[in-house]
Amino acid sequence: MSSHPTHSTPVPASAPAAAPWRRIVLGAVWLYVAALWLLALDHTFHWGLFGPTVPPQP
H helix count then E strand count, the chain = 1, 0
Q: Which pLDDT belongs to residue 27?
A: 97
Reduce the secondary structure of 13-38 to three states and give it as a string: CCHHHHHHHHHHHHHHHHHHHHHHHH
Is residue 14 pLDDT above 70, yes or no? Answer: no
Residue 39 and residue 50 in contact, taking contact as beta carbons nearer than 8 Å: yes
pTM to 2 decimals?
A: 0.58
Q: Name 39's Cβ contacts closer than 8 Å, sequence gap at least 6.
A: 50
Report phi then psi at 35, rounded to 5.
Answer: -65, -40
| pLDDT tens digits for range 39-56 | 999 989 988 888 876 777
